[in-house]
Amino acid sequence: MPQKYSSLRGELHCFACARYLGNFESHPDRHGPADIHLLEPESGTLAQRAVKTGDGLRCSRCGGRAILDYVDATPVIAA
């Protein structure tokens, strides 16, 4: 049986150019597997960022696919 997570947080990087594209947060158990919230930086702006397209998340600089690099997962606690 697949593990369920109440929250996923992590970093996005471009698969093609390896640039850092920002952070994301997701709540797949509440909103489905396509639920991804792109988080704004605490200060300033990024030169490149992840952009939602019909093909998923893409790099705003080169158009490469955004991939999850580091993920912190909080499992669902069964009561």
Query: 63: Cβ–Cβ under 8 A, 6 or more apart, which residues?
Result: 16
Q: What is the extent of the structural domain holding 42?
A: 5-72
Is 50 within a domain? yes
Is 23 within a domain? yes
> Counting Cβ atoms within 10 Å, is residue 21 exposed (0-12), middle (13-18) or buried (19+)?
buried
Query: What is residue 29's three-state secondary structure?
Result: helix
Report the distance separating Cα 59 and Cα 61, nearest Å: 5
| Digit-coded pLDDT (tens) for 7-49 | 889 999 999 999 999 999 988 888 887 788 898 887 778 889 9
Is 78 within a domain? no
Is 25 within a domain? yes
Is 77 within a domain? no
Tally of structural domains, the chain:
1
Is 34 within a domain? yes
Whole-model pTM: value is 0.77
